[in-house]
Chains A and B, each alone.
Chain A
Amino acid sequence: MAIQDKNTQNRNLVDFSKVAKTIELLSRDNHISVGDTPNDIVCETRLYRLLHYHSLVKRVSHTPILVVYALVNRSYVLDLQRNKSWIRHLLTQGFDVYLLDWKSPTRMDKYVSFDDYVNSYIDDCVEIVQNNNSADKITLHGYCMGSSMSAMYTALHQEKIKNLVTIAPVIDTSKDTTVIANISRQMDIDKLVSSIGNLPPEKLYEVYSILKPFKQGVNKYFNLIENIDNESFVQNFLRIEKWLYDTPPIAGETIRQWINDIYKKNLLFKNQLKLGKAKVDLKEINVPLLNIVAEEDHLVAPECSVPLNEVVSSEDRRLIRFHTGHVGLIASSYSQNNVLPKVGQWLKTRSN
């Protein structure tokens, strides 16, 4: 330990040649390739695309999986690079995978609400997947906000769902201790929506910047300088950085409901959330449920996600906790080696 400390102490803080290389790297227009797993666009509208991935091995499962991504940032984080791709791993396990990729709402879409997202867009995609595969039921699999929407959908259209797999869902916001929850509880979202319409990406970047301002915000650049000669590290850094600063706006009515009904009033957990005329009652869910949470999640606290398992009526329900963060759950070597094998195992026994 003493030797290690001494080594650490003797290392120079600044290597100017590396700093120069880093500045050069960050100031040029880097081509970063993401989302490379081959796919077909099955359906495209103004607000979403439904992607169907090509099989990589012989299919072992008869139940197709529809992955519902969140409305923040872009869905290519699920297929960031070949050796860290969530989608590719599911394909190599023999599943038939579809991805619901949300597009950017424009000012025209200010009044698009969760009712539209859940009861129209997700429902349309579920029907397309059912028809494409001649399947009565499908597996619905959400990530983050997409998990919350998947849970809402399952509560309202259970007859079309065979399994529900959620990753870091926002459920009981009264237990969310994150900075995002803290800021959301005080936000005058009605004023924001009436003044500027949709939630602009800049506002999201502003909130991201205060999540882990020094350990991630500052330290990551020191790490980049140190590893500037490591091509693989640099490529990983650039991919994540591209994803972090690539987020669409969120439709006004949707973000109003997200902040007021879900974060401030906790209506989703209280089974009082209304989508159009329908009330979302999570107790109605009785399909097999796999809920995955990250112990070090600083975007959605695990305490906020875990109650999904308590509130549903499913007899077959499982909660798995992993020692990683929000993004580490889906786009890391850890996720490939620890999370995905367990997800695949769970799904295989319930997909025929």
Chain B
Amino acid sequence: MKDENNALNNFTKYDLFENWKNLQNFPTIGMFNALTKDYNEYLEDLLSLNRIIVDLQKNLSAYWLQMSKANFRAIEEVILKSKSDPDLKDVNSEKFRLLVIDAFEEAYSSLFSSKEFAIAYNEVYSKQLDIVNYINRIVEKNLKLLNIPTRSELDEVLKDLQEMKKNLRIMKSRYEKLNRK
């Protein structure tokens, strides 16, 4: 015998899932929905982070290749010059030290002055900054969840403050000029 006043009677298997889904989608209590959404974003961030680390590794290899080539050039110069000059046979002499310093200075200075080095050096640094940016993004997401001001929000405040200080100074200076008159 069915009790018509019992609400549970209407709770079919299908309704159970439907209601649970509705519950999940409430913006304030839909924690599973929020968690799943964030999980995907975190996963994407981590994948991107890995991609950047691989790129950084590539850039670092290009950078160290240039450094190694300069090193070899310097060593080659030292060997050639010390072979041709008997005074340079003693590796403990000051003359030999000066030869080594000159050879390495020449090789590395020409490397550091080249456009190729500047590109490689800045690419390495740029990728390191990408890593910092991704970590910042993850931190910002957490700060938002905790309802704490994020770095980019504070940046906006700092920008406004600087602008206000500037305007205040201009107003003060105008006021002083008027008073002097």
Contact = CB atoms under 8 A, between A and B. Distances in A.
B126 A188 contact: yes
Contacts, number: 97
Interface in B57-71: none
B118 A185 contact: yes
Contacts of A215: 101-102, 105
B87 interface: yes
B84 interface: no
A196 interface: yes
A196 B128 CA distance: 11
B95 A213 contact: no
B97 interface: yes
A195 B115 contact: no
A327 B31 CA distance: 62
A210 B108 contact: yes
Interface stretch (B12-20, B48-56, B140-148, B158-166): B158-166
Contact of B92 (A12, A116, A212, A218): A12
Interface stretch (A53-61, A75-83, A107-115): A107-115
Contact of B108 (A11, A187, A196, A214): A214
B104 A213 contact: yes
A182 interface: yes
Nearest to B162: A111
A230 interface: no
> Helix, strand, loop or mixed for chain B's interface?
helix
A30 interface: no
A195 B162 contact: no
Interface residues of A, number: 38
Interface stretch (A2-10, A63-71, A85-93, A143-151): A2-10
Contacts of B133: 191, 194-195
B93 A8 contact: yes
A34 to B, nearest CB: 29
Contacts of A212: 105, 109
B119 A191 contact: no
A191 B126 contact: yes
Interface residues of B, number: 39
Interface string B80-104: 0000000100111111110001101
A182 B95 contact: no
Nearest to A187: B122
Contacts of A219: 101
B112 interface: yes
Interface in B122-177: 122, 125-126, 129-130, 132-133, 136, 155, 158-159, 161-163, 166, 169
A343 B50 CA distance: 58
A213 B105 contact: yes
B112 A210 contact: yes
7 contacts: A115-B166, A182-B113, A185-B118, A192-B129, A195-B133, A214-B101, A215-B105
Interface of A: 5, 8-14, 108, 110-112, 115-116, 120, 177, 179, 182-183, 185-188, 191-192, 194-196, 210-215, 218-219, 222, 276
Given A111-B158, A191-B130, 20 more contacts: A5-B95, A9-B94, A10-B93, A12-B92, A13-B93, A14-B92, A108-B158, A110-B155, A111-B163, A182-B113, A182-B114, A183-B118, A183-B121, A186-B118, A188-B122, A191-B133, A195-B136, A212-B105, A213-B108, A213-B109
